[in-house]
Amino acid sequence: MQTDKALAFHASEKATGWRLFLKTIAARAYPRVIGQQREKSWIFFDIFLPMLAVSAYVFVYRAIGAPEEYVGFVVVGGAMTSFWMNVLWSMSSQLYWEKEQGNLALYIIAPNSMMAILLGMAVGGLFATALRAVAIILVGSLMFNVTYSVASFTQLLLVFLLAMTALYGMGMMSASLFLLLSREAWHISNLAQEPVYLVSGFYFPIKSFNFWLAAAASFIPLTLGLDAMRQLVFPSGALLGFLSVKVEIIVLIVLCVLFLTGARFLLDYMEKLAIREGRLTESRR
């Protein structure tokens, strides 16, 4: 009897603090991991469509006699586009879409933090997107006979994790900005898609730009993340790199702190604005 009462009390106990934070992350990650696997056609198009752009650049590089490493650059860049699209459409625009569907008010009045909700979306989206990115690399490597020579698996993993942390931090920060801009968020999302492909060097070395333009493009985490990963997985990658891998790791750490701090500040500001004015969740806002 006492055991049953103890179990009932434990089941009714409310999660607070870090327990609530972690449970929120798991709860919001779950539907993204499971839901994206239910529509099998999405998996095909998420792999097939990026491969069209990759193939086009590969054929252009081979037609003009570019170094064979450029083919590998394109395959890796094509895989990383999946993460940018996930951040742009499933992170930055997420709160705006939730407002349009009437769910934003529920998120704001819930006892958990908005950062935990968005972080859960990021974790779920990162897992699902990583599977597609790996598939693009495997298919592209087999189709175009790309070979890799990893200089340091530890640095490669560190660069990837830092780049994803900074990228999704930027996504959480821009989610608040897109929400505050309301309907303009849709236009900004469309506007940001192609320019980022260019300045981030998805299909060519960022070193092709002059130093100041490349430095400005480094504000986008994928720019330095891609550059460092290419230096670590291709023999001639260091010759075509913008900065040394160690410097790029340091910059990525700074970007992680910057974007996560900015995300926390903007999300707190957004919640306070919603509570104070009571109009943030309305479509006309």
In this predicted model, what pLDDT tens digit does every residue of 128-186 receive, in sequence order?
788 788 888 898 899 898 888 888 899 999 999 999 889 888 888 887 777 777 666 66
Q: How confident is the model at residue 2, as a pLDDT? A: 46
pLDDT of residue 185: 65
**pLDDT tens per residue across span 76-123:** 888 888 888 777 767 777 777 777 777 777 777 777 777 888 888 888
pLDDT, tens digit (0-9, with 9 covering 90-100), for 14-23: 667 788 888 8
Above 80 in pLDDT, residue 38? Answer: no
Q: Which helix (H) or strand (E) is 241 found in, with range?
A: none
**Confidence check: pLDDT of 216 > 60:** yes
**pTM to 2 decimal places:** 0.81
Inter-residue contact 108 to 114 (CB < 8 Å) = yes
- Whether the pLDDT of residue 194 is over 90: the answer is no
Q: How far apart are CA 28 and CA 42, in angstroms?
A: 20
Q: Which residue has better confidence, 79 or 285?
A: 79
Counting residues of the chain whose pLDDT is more than 70, the rounded percentage is 86
Mean pLDDT of 28-33: 80
Q: Pull the structure tokens for residue 79.
A: 């895989």
Average pLDDT of the chain?
A: 80
